[in-house]
Amino acid sequence: MKIDIDIARQELRLSNGKRYAISTAKNGVGEKNGSFCTPRGRHIVRARIGAGQPLGGLDRRLAGLSDGGEIRVIQAECPSNRVLAAMPVVLVGVVLISGAIGSDAYGSNPTLGVITGVVTGFSYAAFLLVLRRGNADVRRPAGPLLDATWVAAVAAIGLGLPLGEVNLVPSWPEHGYLLVLALSSQVVGWLFISVSLPRLPAALTSVILTIQPVGAVLLGIVLVNERPSLIQLAGAGTILLGLMLATLRRRANAEPIAEPELG
């Protein structure tokens, strides 16, 4: 089907004679990349997203139906090629740094640590998605974080009391260390994460946050004199390589200009 756009009349005309009113770009016409103008020339429609779906519907793999009946898209994001390329690199690094490979990894039971780490990873991913959803209002990043913090505190007390692991009597310097931890990584650090979550693609955020095990290894060396294996150090380097692949971009020498096919 042939479609003609009359910018002067703000009208779309189909080859079957039908006409529709349209609204083209606010910035006018132009072919410069990133100008947010309406490009002129001859264009070809490559794909029809949602073809075959009912009117007002979306593919159920990408959307959910809310109680009111309106469509709600759930994380319908397409990661960039750089992020897709970085994911396997980062995953290899995570496996190496975990201690699952090699016999000289530190810790009393590296295998159990890997298993609990995998479970924690899935739980952590779910938590990040929920927190990202809760931060839809970017003006109040501390609210969802506060809710998550007091819920975690209540859950920890509820699980710890039957196990006899809760001690509410302050002691020094143990509680001093906990206070520093709370005010640094748990307050300041998570506020930064809460601010960035709704502003970055979910896949890119997940890749960037793998910097945490690298930081844990480095802090373990400095603060508690831990000695990671060479394989784990290689894993830290692999993760950093994946992060560079996902986030660093080569600056173009000139901004490309679209060249439409005239006809």
pLDDT, one tens digit per residue, over 154-175 is 998 888 888 888 877 888 888 8
Read off the pLDDT of each residue in 103-121 and give the average, rounded to a whole number.
71
- Residue-level pLDDT at 78: 65
Indicate yes or no: pTM above 0.75. no
Alpha helices in the chain (DSSP H): 81-98, 110-134, 142-163, 174-181, 190-196, 202-208, 211-223, 230-247
Q: Tell me phi and psi for residue 21, to 5 degrees.
A: -75, 140
Q: Which of 54-63, 176-185, 203-212 has the lowest mean pLDDT?
A: 54-63
> CA-CA distance, 153 to 19, in Å (whole number)?
61
Q: Which of 31-35, 66-70, 251-255 has the lowest mean pLDDT?
A: 66-70
Read off the pLDDT of each residue in 220-245 and give the average, rounded to a whole number.
86
Q: Tell me phi and psi for residue 198, to 5 degrees.
A: -75, -5
- Residue-level pLDDT at 56: 55
The CA-to-CA distance between both ends of the chain, in Å, stands at 16
Res. 191: pLDDT tops 60 = yes
Q: Looking at per-residue confidence, does 86 or 77 come out higher?
A: 86
Read off the pLDDT of each residue in 209-231 and give the average, rounded to a whole number.
84
Question: b/e per residue, 156-191, with b = 16+ CB within 10 A?
Answer: eeeeeeeeeeeeeeeeeeeeeeeeeeeeeeeeeebe
> CA-CA distance, 225 to 230, in Å (whole number)?
15
The pair of three-digit structure tokens given for residue 226, joined into one six-digit string: 């831990």
What's the pLDDT band for 249 if we cut at 50, 70, 90? low
